[in-house]
Structure 1
């Protein structure tokens, strides 16, 4: 990958991460400052989704900064053994995938509740 493409990709990822943090902070700020929203029990899944997404995006900031400046630990470009990476990386990768699946299902549930509220609540009451 040439330098310009790498720079454009890194700028896009950093701006996307900043946008993600700001959007989730707005959702959480709106929830905790508005008493009507806090009284609504149905919005708790959306708040949980915003909190977890804020947590994930906050954890990725140091990695994006390191990616942006091109930092390599100890100045050495590491070449990892694929068996070690697979052994130690498959557990956390499975947890991240399940977390992404759960947050996606929560988001779909909330979109469905907003898109067709009467049908959604009639199916939930059965």
Structure 2
């Protein structure tokens, strides 16, 4: 059974978005996604300063089983990436909602409007059958 946190918003592609300081939104993959992928060995990040649109492929995640596209759940400008994943990509498996975050985006509006098209925790649980 995968962990789903109530304070996050979720995409149907199994990414999560978390409200940060000001207009910053932190992004990662869900516990469900990391279970599907298996042992993660490499993360390709979006470039800092890149303008991204919700739904766009912004990188990839490589596991021992497969390579999966990383889609952005929100639109904005990439402000930071989690450099700890360069040396320890397995953090995505062990801490998908903590130390395994992937990147941060500065959104144009507020968090509520930036994530309005995403699923809440109840809808995401239903999506993944939990």
Please report the TM-score for the alignment, with normalisation by the length of structure 2.
Answer: 0.20
Q: Which has the higher relative contact order, 1 or 2, with Cα contacts under 8 A spaced 6 or more apart?
A: 2
Determine which structure has the larger strand proportion and give its number.
2
Please report the TM-score for the alignment, with normalisation by the length of structure 1.
Answer: 0.20
Determine which structure has the larger helix proportion and give its number.
1
Who wins on radius of gyration, i.e. which is larger? 1
